[in-house]
Amino acid sequence: MASITDDSARPVAKPTKTRGPLIYRQSIFTRLTHWLWVFCLFFLLFSGLNIFNAHPTLYFGQQSSFPNLQTEKPQFNAAWLDIGAVNTDAGPRGQTTILGHSFDTTGVLGLSGDPFDPSGYRAFPSWLTIPNWYDLASARVVHFFFAWLLVATLLVWLLASILNRHIREIPPSLADLRHLPADIGSHLKLRLDHGRHYNGLQKIAYSVVLFVMFPLIVATGITMSPGMDSWAPWLTEIFGGRQTARSIHFITVCCFVLFVAIHVLMMILAGPFNELRQMITGRYRASADVPFDPSRKDKP
């Protein structure tokens, strides 16, 4: 008698996920300059905080308001940002004032240093500065060295990107802008694209960083340097004063730090191994629907 088999009892093979091609996405120049930027910006940021601790107050215009030596109060109130320590009934407290609104930032900003030496209080804590003690001269040496190294790296990247036409892939096209709402929706749903080219959001972000933030940081940095006045005195006039340039420099750096935080977060969400591989080897595992192209050094 023939046996009856139950098909539902048979193990069902799981469908294999089709892998996309391993595309060649980043050139050697893009990878080298990327890691040089990371190296330079690390030292620039933390040495810059040490320099900022020398006078943790920002203004717009030509003048700053240093405190009167007798009253220890500013001669006139022109600051839009001030980070420091204030005396209260409960003892010294850290205070950050932004556009006239004060916030208690004890434990974060304004009250870093030896509690028995109030004159040594600093805006940013020592673990966030290079060197990790207050040394304006050393911080300026470190800052300017890596600033010029960053400028040189930017010029190398720009020249290489023009020659290999990589620079054409960065600015968003009209098609990218039309597809932008869909890109935003995909990112909100964490459906991240693994294509051969950058998507619209990436192109906008990289364009702002490379063509707006970096030039603005460099230009305002040069404007703040008294030694550059004889070379480019017109920069001070363009930015409306050295104090305005200092404020723009600080705000732009804060925006760049925010970009880096989002950049790292998106890298983790998109797959850190795949993202790091493209910046080390140049190769990137694309989605299955991306066509294989041997002329671009793709691999299966």
Identity of residue 51: I
Domains and CATH numbers, the chain: 22-53+133-296 (1.20.950.20), 57-123 (no CATH)
- Give every CB contact of residue 55 below 8 A, 6+ residues apart in sequence: 64, 66
Distances (CA, A) of 3 to 6, 50, 87, 234: 10, 83, 91, 95
> Dihedrals φ, ψ of 58, to 5°?
-120, 145
> Dihedrals φ, ψ of 93, to 5°?
-135, 150
* Residue reference for tokens 């930015």: 239
How far out from the chain centre does Cα 55 lie? 23
**pLDDT for position 229:** 72
**pLDDT for position 215:** 93
Q: What is the pLDDT along the chain (300 residues), one digit of tens a residue?
A: 444 545 545 555 455 557 778 888 888 988 999 999 999 999 999 999 999 999 999 998 766 655 544 445 555 557 899 998 888 887 788 889 998 888 988 888 888 766 566 566 888 988 899 998 888 999 999 999 999 999 999 999 999 999 988 888 899 989 888 988 888 888 888 787 777 778 888 899 999 999 999 999 999 999 888 777 777 788 888 888 889 999 999 999 999 999 999 999 988 988 889 889 999 998 888 877 676 666 667 676
Long-range contacts of 288-293 (CB under 8 A, 24+ apart): 288/17, 288/18, 288/19, 288/20, 289/20, 290/20, 290/21, 290/23, 290/194, 290/195, 290/196, 291/21, 292/21, 293/21, 293/23, 293/196
Q: State the pTM of this model.
A: 0.83
Q: Are strands 79-88 and 22-24 parallel, antiparallel or unpaired?
A: unpaired
Rounded Cα distance between 269 and 286, Å, is 15
Q: Rg (Cα) of the chain, in Å, rounded?
A: 26
